[in-house]
Amino acid sequence: MSRVSIIIPCHNDGPYLTEAYTSARLQTHADLEIIVVNDGSDQPDTLRVLDKLRGQGACVLNNTGHSGVAAARNFGIAAASGHYILPLDADDKMEPTYAAKAAAVLDGNPQIGICYCRANLFGLKHGPWRLPPFSKGEILLGNMIFASAMFRREDWRAVGGYDESINHAPEDHALWLALLNLGVEVWQIPEELFHYRIRSRSRSAEMFSCEQKQTQAARAVFHARLECYQKNLEALFLQSHALYHKDQRHRKLFSYQLLRPVMLVEMRIRAWVKQIIGRA
């Protein structure tokens, strides 16, 4: 059985960390290690939670300063011994069978390098997280795989890990593109095994509330993974072409819906004029 290492970076996430750690500890996969990376936390409540976990025997590593989630994950993975890596943010949680089911997929399919599942939302918003199905063309334009997807440690090493130079961009998106550039395949488990917390002051919430920040993040990923975009220019073109025509169809439909009442009035006036002319 392949060992799975769950990596939990934490920067002042004390109110949520225990819940995330518990969901990792309850995994049914037999060969498991959990590594919590303290990424420069300085809030007393978080430090108390970290000390409590350490006192309970948890592996808690201190990363130097607040280096960001990409560096914290790399730090944890470098210290890990697992064949497979499963990142978990300190404010999210997983169903107990997630690690076992994802590891079984990778064990049985050497060509698969990224395995994730369906997910739901909790916190400020509840319900299924309706991500689009995976597409090699669409992931070039935007991410559709959340950070808590399982991948092979050897593949992480082959691509140089998470890109720490784009810490204010979606580093998980950049990693997926790098792994895809290796030629790995993607598999989604058709079950909701991951829970993504929605909270008002999260890094993701701040990014997606501002269109300019989204554009800057997308540009950072593009430049960081330029070789992947160059390798998949045709897929990128076809995806952009499909989106262009979809937009054109929506515009035409909107114009038709907007003008339809005017066209009906015009038709009635024409019919009324014909009646009058016929009587004359």
Phi–psi pair at 194, nearest 5 degrees = -130, 140
With a CB cutoff of 8 Å and minimum separation 6, the contacts of 245 are none
| Residue 207, pLDDT score | 47
Angle, helices 14-25/44-55, rounded to nearest 10 degrees: 30
Query: Which amino acid does the sequence have at 41?
Result: S
What single DSSP character describes residue 138?
G
> Encoding tokens for residue 54?
């350490």
For residue 191, pLDDT beyond 70: yes
N residues, the chain:
280
| Residue 36, pLDDT score | 98
| Residue 149, pLDDT score | 98
Mean pLDDT of 182-208: 83
For residue 273, pLDDT beyond 50: yes
| Residue 10, pLDDT score | 97
Q: What is the pLDDT of residues 102-157, one digit of tens each?
A: 999 999 999 999 999 999 999 999 999 999 999 988 898 889 999 999 999 999 99
| Residue 213, pLDDT score | 79
| Residue 222, pLDDT score | 86
First to last CA, the chain: 93
What is the DSSP pairing of strand 59-63 with strand 32-39? parallel
More confident residue, 6 or 208: 6
Per-residue confidence at 195, pLDDT binned at 50, 70, 90?
very high
Pick from 98, 68, 229: which is nearest to 161 by CA? 68
What single DSSP character describes residue 35?
E
> Encoding tokens for residue 40?
């420069």
Q: Which residues are 6's β-sheet partners?
A: 34, 86
Q: What is the pLDDT of residues 241-252, one digit of tens each?
A: 676 666 666 665
By 3-state DSSP, what share of the chain in percent is helix, strand and coil, each rounded to 5?
50, 20, 30
| Residue 220, pLDDT score | 85
List the single range of 50-54, 84-88, 163-167, 228-232 with lowest mean pLDDT.
228-232
For residue 208, pLDDT beyond 90: no
Mean pLDDT (the chain) is 88
Per-residue confidence at 31, pLDDT binned at 50, 70, 90?
very high
Q: How far is CA 155 from CA 60, 185, 218, 228, 231, in A?
A: 24, 12, 23, 15, 18
Mean pLDDT of 271-277: 64
